Amino acid sequence: MRVEQISVFLENKAGRLAEVARILAEAGINIRALSLADTSDFGILRLIVNDNNKAKEALKQHGFTVGKTDVVAVEVEDRPGGLHRILDVLYRSNVNVEYMYAFVQQSGSNAVIIFRFDNLDEAVKVLQANGVPVIEGEKLYAM
């Protein structure tokens, strides 16, 4: 019930993001979802791709610092109140969200939200107990 996410350290200077995109393109990696957290000095690019190991190797070869983290992907109805319902469930169960980002599936009716939790196992249990659909990694990479 977990999804692998890779994260890349980026200095806050021109061309770094483009460089990552170029390396991934050359390695034939397809990006499923991404988010960029930034401070005045550095950024952390988080990516869900179709082939984590290949992406990680390609980036490392080019000198990037790359990390791997487990996150949770959740399907949410693409309509008002969809997100609120999930966050409410988590809040009531005292599950903290470190960060999250979302994307809308090509097929249309559902959105996917990626959550990074402090306590992943506990979070998955809470989500499932409340009938929130959690997506398998394999399914997400192939979307």
102 vs 130, beta carbon nearer other proteins: 102
Q: Does 7 bind other proteins (CB under 8 A)?
A: yes
Vertex 121 angle, CA 59 and 74, to 5° = 70
Tell me 50's DSSP state: S
**Binds other proteins by CB under 8 A, chosen from 1, 2, 4, 9:** 9
Upper half-sphere CA count for residue 134 (Cβ side, 13 Å) = 18
Work out how close the CB of 35 gets to other proteins at its nearest, in angstroms, rounded to a whole number: 10
88 vs 98, beta carbon nearer other proteins: 98
32 vs 46, beta carbon nearer other proteins: 46
Q: How many residues of this chain bind other proteins (CB under 8 A)?
A: 21
Distances (CA, A) of 92 to 26, 72, 73, 113, 136: 45, 18, 19, 19, 24
**Binds other proteins by CB under 8 A, chosen from 17, 44, 102, 134:** 44
Tell me 18's DSSP state: H
User: What is the C-alpha to C-alpha distance for residues 27 and 88, in angstroms, rounded to an integer?
Assistant: 40
Work out how close the CB of 30 gets to other proteins at its nearest, in angstroms, rounded to a whole number: 20
Q: Does 37 bind other proteins (CB under 8 A)?
A: yes
The kind and range of the H/E element at 118 are none
Question: Radius of gyration (Cα) for the chain, nearest Å?
Answer: 16
**Strand pairing partners for 130?**
none
**Binds other proteins by CB under 8 A, chosen from 17, 64, 93, 122:** 64
Binding stretches for other proteins (CB under 8 A): 5, 7, 9-11, 16, 37, 39, 41-42, 44, 46, 63-67, 69, 98-99, 116
